[in-house]
Structure 1
Amino acid sequence: MPRTTPATTPETPFDDFTDIEGLLRIPRLASLAAGPDGRLVAAIQQADEHGSRMVSSLWELDPSGEREARRLTWSAKGESAPRFAADGSLLFTSARPDPTGSADEDVPAIWRLPERGEAHVVASAPGGLTLVGVADDGSMLATTEVLAGGSLEDDAEARQARKAAKRTAIWHTGMPIRHWDHEVGETSTRLVHVDPDGGMRELTPGADTTSLLDASADLSRDGRRAVTTWTTRVAGGETRTSIAVVDVQPRRRRVLLRATAAQGWSGPRLSPDGTRVAVRRVTASTPTDTAYSFLEIHSLGGGEPVSVEVGDLTVGAYAWVDDARLVVSGDLHSRGAVLLVDTATGAVRTLVDDAPHGSLAPAADGSALFALRTDMATPPAPVRIPLRGRGAVEATTIPAPGRVGALPGRLEWVETEVDGTAVGGWLCTPKGASTASPAPVMLWIHGGPHGSYNAWSWRWNPWLAVARGWAVLLPDPAMSTGYGHEGLNRGWPRLADVVWRECEALLDRVLERRTLDGDRTALLGASFGGYMTNWIAGHSDRFGAIVTHAGLWALDQQHTTTDAASHKVRVHGLPDQLPEWFRAYSPHHHASAITTPMLVTHGNRDYRVPVSEALRLWWDLVSGWQGSPASMPHRFLQLTDENHWVLRPSNAVTWNRAVLGFCEQHVLGGEPLPDALPL
């Protein structure tokens, strides 16, 4: 029998936000899976003993919301991506050791956990397997990686030869060559059909290193066909992503929705009867228009699509309830919503509009939707949303680990008007703020720029600062999601002055409160927000400290070294083509105007904003400092094994302590951080 925990008294909710490590050890709900017999399972991540990594395990949840969760899996390697088979068994991915010794070591395999009995390996491959879909007959769709130019049949031998020779070279024939935090070109992603007994067959033997890069795919319930994104290279270093249909028997691939220079496709999801596909149509960004996405339903037999009118919602996730209904979630007005779609007409009904919801898992009988709900005050938590009836919908919270208790301050929505447009954001105020003791203020600018402050964040959590007496303002300025296409395009193409004007106007509005101290302020941002902090540093001296993480510094350098170079160059061209734009908006041109102490943080494995941005910024700050080296206020926290984000819990503890300590030193007059950071 699988080891389980009994239903017990609920854990004590976490509420000590002065404890950084404690916050980062809270269990995190990652995904949900609904079973054919009414079962509900969650993948839950938690830091290991040393904080060196996050480990995922599977937990049984009570769909009725009455009983506490119980743990199903316990391996040190962890288990993730749960999916139910039609027979009620639970499939998942794990690199845990196989007691029989038949699975490839240290790579993810597909495992099956029956309702009664122990888990066992269903299938494994030298390049690992990631479960994508499960058919009613028990067959599965998975992805694997094979060495470039090879096949599933010869991959084990080829890998062994490469390892024995210690070969690390990659032969590039075009773009892209990097993606977020890994190299592209050494391996090729392939779709694999897996029989119920574990037999495997390649479905896409002709895939090159780009075809299925970051692909999204789905399997029909009858197991006869799959749909997938299919990316091809075109001239100018660009790629285009189409939608392909792959027949399992006979193995055959055809293009269903062909990408053009003006638009591509993403996120195919097959209807239960296998005749239609829900998909996003994404327009290509240009110097005058950002990329817009449209949710459509296409017949595999051709014909006019059904367009889903989602209003201002920026579509995030969607899932078929049955052949007649689709559920859609996304960002909406700095919160979020879940919509129920009539797939014949595209008409929508709003189910909830109070918060973002992810990991959509419709119940097998179509009566309810299970999802992970989050907001600015609450980590992702499972909820049950009724789908039947036409009256008011009230979601039920399902007990699960990872509860958070009382917050150290107050959360409220604030707004101002800029050039006739309402600009809003969330303000987190500490409990101790008063006219006699006004709170210092942090302004945080979000990344993207297509993003929104509407959900809980483990990486940038404002409540850690609030617990230390800071107020934190989190605006949703121009180009934020959830405000329709007009909101996405306001401020395009990445006009830093437009975003800064809106952020500063909202900051000035909240600083009219006597409970906030406008003379003690800090500015923080990451990714696009890091670009903004870098640009603002050369245009304003109103802040006592600036923290920039993974920020763009020299746009002439970043635009052609990022893994998204084709997108950047398509929108902004090269410096000799748009010299005025680069002069005005590349932060490095304004380095000599920086007087505010800056903390630069960056991961070496960040390929979206390469670490060369931080290296060049650091050189400009250090070489431009005219005082003695000992008096230079700037600091650089280099995260040598992190990517665009700070994912390792132990590194996140260090990052948070450094950020808070730096701001306390330069804004509040706290103790200087030591030269050798003891974190």
Structure 2
Amino acid sequence: MPTPFDSLPDYLALPRIEGLALSPDGRRVVLTVATLKKDGTGFDRSLWAVPADGSDGSGGATRLTRSAKGESAPAFTAAGDVLFVSARPDSDAETEEEAGQLWILPATGGDARAVTRLAGGVSQIAAVAEASARLVITADLLPSATTLEDEAHLRAARTKKKVSAILHESYPVRYWDHDLGPAEPHLLSLDLDALRDTVGAVRDESAADEASEKDAPMPYPSSLPRPADLTPQPGRSADAAGVAITPDGTTVVAAMRVPEGTDARYRLVAIDVDTGEHTVLHDEPRVDFEMPAISHDGTLVAYLRTVERTPEGPSEEEFWISALDGSGAHRIAAEWDRWPSSISFDADDTALIVTADQDGRGPIFRIPHDGGAVEQITTDDFTYTDVRVDRKTGDLVALRSSWMAPSHPVRIARDGLITALAAPVSLPEVPATMIDVDATAEDGARVRGWLLLPEGATADAPAPLLLWIHGGPLNSWNAWSWRWNPQLAVARGYAVLLPDPALSTGYGLDFIARGWNAWGAAPYTDLLSITDAVVARPDIDETRTAAMGGSFGGYMANWVAGHTDRFRAIVTHASLWALDQFGPTTDFSPYWQSIFTPEAMIEHSPNRFVADIRTPMLVIHGDRDYRVPIGEGLRLWSELNAQFAGADGSLAHRYLYFPDENHWILKPQHAIVWYETVFAFLAQHVLDQEWVRPDDLG
């Protein structure tokens, strides 16, 4: 039976649930839903409300917002109003701005209205108080500005003069897909009690007259709560690794960045919202303090403590709890070596609710404060995100996904019973069946992964195999991805192997350490071991296999290309090729240079083995990739040509280049081109079909 994965346009048109918020009374869930734009070149986002108890007796999903610019990042206030960020037009603004602002949708009904009018917009909602009208947002402000009006004036001057230059006075200068600066990130507090409703436009005549003078800045609107800067002159310190606010809104705890030469660490800082005073709670050399969470009674703060990683090996991510003033700090769950992706307090504050990778899944765990054993709450094959605690019942509400189902909302009862919530998005039919597979590595370690099989794969009709290698490398193939979706390959008759080799998370610190400072060693042999185990199955055709990966997965694809000819094709996306070049040119070089010895960076650099490549390669890179800069792809393509081009310049390899994409290929029309090119390349070399150039490539 056909599924949406048989057609790339149909697949891109599938709606996606991207975020979740739970109302204070535990009765409503608000979801962020992304849908394909009419012209197919982007996604629109809107907010939908659904009942949080698992019933749809109240009407199922209800759309809350509708605008051309879309809405995202929902959060609830203590009063039950919905906050979100949007670049939708503000009817009270003097001019139409493109920057996203904070908006509020009243619980009592009525239209949404803007809460901020910052010239550079709002970056995100950082934290919202549970029992007061205060919240914290992040926003970028120009370093020379002394007031919000001054900041707006400076921005307008740059825009008028069409100045885009940035003067850097510190490192780094880029992050993933965008340039840093000239503005710096700030934490700003807002008191929603200062938001005023008015009849007609608010106009301060004296301020307006003054602003009409040449080059005078416009005053910040008096009807809006004026943001208070909690981090004046921050540099990059407010690039926080987590922000929390006490229920009464009086104290913010932030993991703030502390520069150390070109490197940095994070320390925990308490900020008094009324006075702006900073108090350092926890700070140690060569140690990061991150992911603060504050208890519901406002007396405790939980956080992660991580000793700086070196070439000698990875370090544990330690769970700690202290009083709000930093006293009484103590570690909990010292024997548990998983790395958390989220931390919050349980309903009664006696335990932490944590998500972490675990054996190819991403369960929810409960960690008691009293030293009790870590309890795994969910035991299915899903990975959970956006976990919220219902204070009234103790139940949890979350999104979950697996390779068989994209993100969808569920309720988890205290007894572990899981109930699917109503949603505006139905789960799509998928073409694959999913099997848990494993193998024994050269050193005796267990290496596992997921195998997705197409319908009809049998000993009489074995399926060709695609080995997909995940990025990271500290990662796991345990959750649905809209970018790298194996269901699309399964719909075309391939089996897809999604292994977690050495360096993968969810298997303990020792498993990560097996590949540390030696990417080309155990990670490579682990991939071969599990591939050997899978191709031994009668429903897999071992003569028709290919390998592919992105980022670290692209690094491994390059390494595989130079060390074996067992695969008939290799696809390498956003890949590391020459580690000595990558180290100083990536967006934050100190980290990568600190986890390798200079000798290991040379020994495990794929470019050293270019002459040994015997497999056709499809190289893919985006010019705006700052994590793995375009120089990696350019050098790989240059050296493939220098080594293998014929007298007429022809060669078996291909290079797919996106001038305006980054580490990920995000524009829907480009995602289609990406998949069409990959499947055409695989069809040529794995299925022995004629090469067909995708139409949109001209």
TM-score (norm 2): 0.90
The counterpart of 2:435, out of the listed 388, 397, 412, is 412
Matches for 1:200-279 after TM superposition, within 5 Å: 200-213=226-239, 215-235=241-261, 237-261=262-286, 263-279=287-303
Match of 1:297 in 2: 321
Identical-residue share of aligned pairs (%):
38
Are 1:278 and 1:298, in contact at CA under 8 Å, matched by a contact in 2? yes
Matches for 1:663-674 after TM superposition, within 5 Å: 663-674=682-693
Are 2:29 and 2:49, in contact at CA under 8 Å, matched by a contact in 1? yes
Query: What code does the residue aligned with 1:120 have?
Result: R
Match of 1:586 in 2: 605
Note if 1:485 corresponds to 2:481. no
| In 1, Cα distance between equivalents of 2:409 and 2:239 | 31
Are 1:39 and 1:62, in contact at CA under 8 Å, matched by a contact in 2? yes
Moved more, 294-303 or 401-410: 401-410
| In 1, Cα distance between equivalents of 2:387 and 2:594 | 34
Match of 1:117 in 2: 110
* Other structure's SS at 2:346 match: strand
Match of 1:149 in 2: 144
Match of 2:198 in 1: none
> Residues 202-237 of structure 1, C-alpha deviation per residue, up to 9 Å, x if partnerless?
3334343311125421221101011112112113x2
Match of 1:377 in 2: 404
* Other structure's SS at 1:617 match: helix
Note if 1:360 corresponds to 2:349. no
Match of 2:218 in 1: none
| In 1, Cα distance between equivalents of 2:625 and 2:666 | 12
Are 1:528 and 1:551, in contact at CA under 8 Å, matched by a contact in 2? yes
* Other structure's SS at 1:486 match: helix
Match of 2:417 in 1: 394
| In 2, Cα distance between equivalents of 1:616 and 1:630 | 17
Match of 1:167 in 2: 163
Per the TM alignment, residue 346 of structure 1 is displaced from its structure 2 partner at its CA by 6.0
| In 2, Cα distance between equivalents of 1:646 and 1:618 | 19
Are 1:369 and 1:384, in contact at CA under 8 Å, matched by a contact in 2? yes
The counterpart of 1:69, out of the listed 56, 61, 65, is 61
> Residues 541-591 of structure 1, C-alpha deviation per residue, up to 9 Å, x if partnerless?
1111100011100111000101120012212244xxx2xx34431111111
* Other structure's SS at 1:572 match: coil
- RMSD of the alignment, in Å? 2.0
| In 1, Cα distance between equivalents of 2:576 and 2:144 | 35
| In 2, Cα distance between equivalents of 1:212 and 1:638 | 35
> Residues 397-448 of structure 1, C-alpha deviation per residue, up to 9 Å, x if partnerless?
1121333343223210111111221111111111122222211111111111
Matches for 1:99-138 after TM superposition, within 5 Å: 99-101=91-93, 105-115=97-107, 116-129=109-122, 130-135=124-129, 136-138=131-133
The counterpart of 1:59, out of the listed 41, 48, 55, is 48
Match of 1:26 in 2: 14
Note if 1:569 corresponds to 2:604. no
| In 2, Cα distance between equivalents of 1:50 and 1:305 | 55
The counterpart of 2:652, out of the listed 603, 618, 633, is 633
Moved more, 629-638 or 550-559: 629-638
| In 2, Cα distance between equivalents of 1:280 and 1:468 | 44
Note if 1:654 corresponds to 2:654. no
Moved more, 289-298 or 109-118: 289-298
Query: What code does the residue aligned with 1:435 have?
Result: A
Note if 1:307 corresponds to 2:332. yes
Query: What code does the residue aligned with 1:173 have?
Result: E
Note if 1:545 corresponds to 2:569. yes
Q: Quick one: structure 1 residues 190 and 366, their matched pair in 2 at CA, closer, same or farther if it must change by over 3 Å? A: farther
| In 1, Cα distance between equivalents of 2:455 and 2:526 | 27
Q: Quick one: structure 1 residues 429 and 205, their matched pair in 2 at CA, closer, same or farther if it must change by over 3 Å? A: closer
Q: Quick one: structure 1 residues 318 and 675, their matched pair in 2 at CA, closer, same or farther if it must change by over 3 Å? A: closer
Segments of structure 1 that go 5 or more residues without pairing to the other structure are 1-12
| In 1, Cα distance between equivalents of 2:189 and 2:169 | 28
Note if 1:327 corresponds to 2:350. no
Note if 1:437 corresponds to 2:437. no
Per the TM alignment, residue 627 of structure 1 is displaced from its structure 2 partner at its CA by 1.7
Q: Quick one: structure 1 residues 303 and 403, their matched pair in 2 at CA, closer, same or farther if it must change by over 3 Å? A: same
Match of 2:215 in 1: none
> Residues 374-400 of structure 1, C-alpha deviation per residue, up to 9 Å, x if partnerless?
11211111110113xxxx411101121
Per the TM alignment, residue 311 of structure 1 is displaced from its structure 2 partner at its CA by 2.8
> Residues 263-283 of structure 1, C-alpha deviation per residue, up to 9 Å, x if partnerless?
212111111222221211122
| In 1, Cα distance between equivalents of 2:651 and 2:17 | 43
Note if 1:535 corresponds to 2:554. no
Per the TM alignment, residue 54 of structure 1 is displaced from its structure 2 partner at its CA by 2.2
Matches for 1:428-507 after TM superposition, within 5 Å: 428-507=452-531
Query: What code does the residue aligned with 1:337 have?
Result: P
| In 1, Cα distance between equivalents of 2:522 and 2:270 | 43
Match of 2:216 in 1: none
Match of 2:618 in 1: 599
Match of 1:178 in 2: 174
Note if 1:526 corresponds to 2:550. yes
| In 1, Cα distance between equivalents of 2:86 and 2:137 | 13
* Other structure's SS at 1:50 match: coil
Are 1:32 and 1:359, in contact at CA under 8 Å, matched by a contact in 2? yes
Q: Quick one: structure 1 residues 80 and 397, their matched pair in 2 at CA, closer, same or farther if it must change by over 3 Å? A: same
* Other structure's SS at 2:686 match: helix
Match of 2:36 in 1: 47
Match of 1:199 in 2: 225
Are 2:367 and 2:373, in contact at CA under 8 Å, matched by a contact in 1? yes
Q: Quick one: structure 1 residues 288 and 573, their matched pair in 2 at CA, closer, same or farther if it must change by over 3 Å? A: closer
Segments of structure 2 that go 5 or more residues without pairing to the other structure are 196-223
Per the TM alignment, residue 48 of structure 1 is displaced from its structure 2 partner at its CA by 1.2
Are 1:148 and 1:185, in contact at CA under 8 Å, matched by a contact in 2? no
State the number of aligned residues: 656
> Residues 474-502 of structure 1, C-alpha deviation per residue, up to 9 Å, x if partnerless?
11111111011112211111421211111
* Other structure's SS at 1:335 match: coil
Match of 1:285 in 2: 309
* Other structure's SS at 1:29 match: strand
| In 1, Cα distance between equivalents of 2:254 and 2:2 | 41
* Other structure's SS at 2:592 match: helix
Are 2:188 and 2:231, in contact at CA under 8 Å, matched by a contact in 1? no
Match of 1:316 in 2: 341
Per the TM alignment, residue 626 of structure 1 is displaced from its structure 2 partner at its CA by 3.9
* Other structure's SS at 2:457 match: coil
> Residues 22-43 of structure 1, C-alpha deviation per residue, up to 9 Å, x if partnerless?
1222111111111123221111
| In 2, Cα distance between equivalents of 1:525 and 1:126 | 40
Q: Quick one: structure 1 residues 228 and 482, their matched pair in 2 at CA, closer, same or farther if it must change by over 3 Å? A: same
Q: Quick one: structure 1 residues 514 and 345, their matched pair in 2 at CA, closer, same or farther if it must change by over 3 Å? A: closer
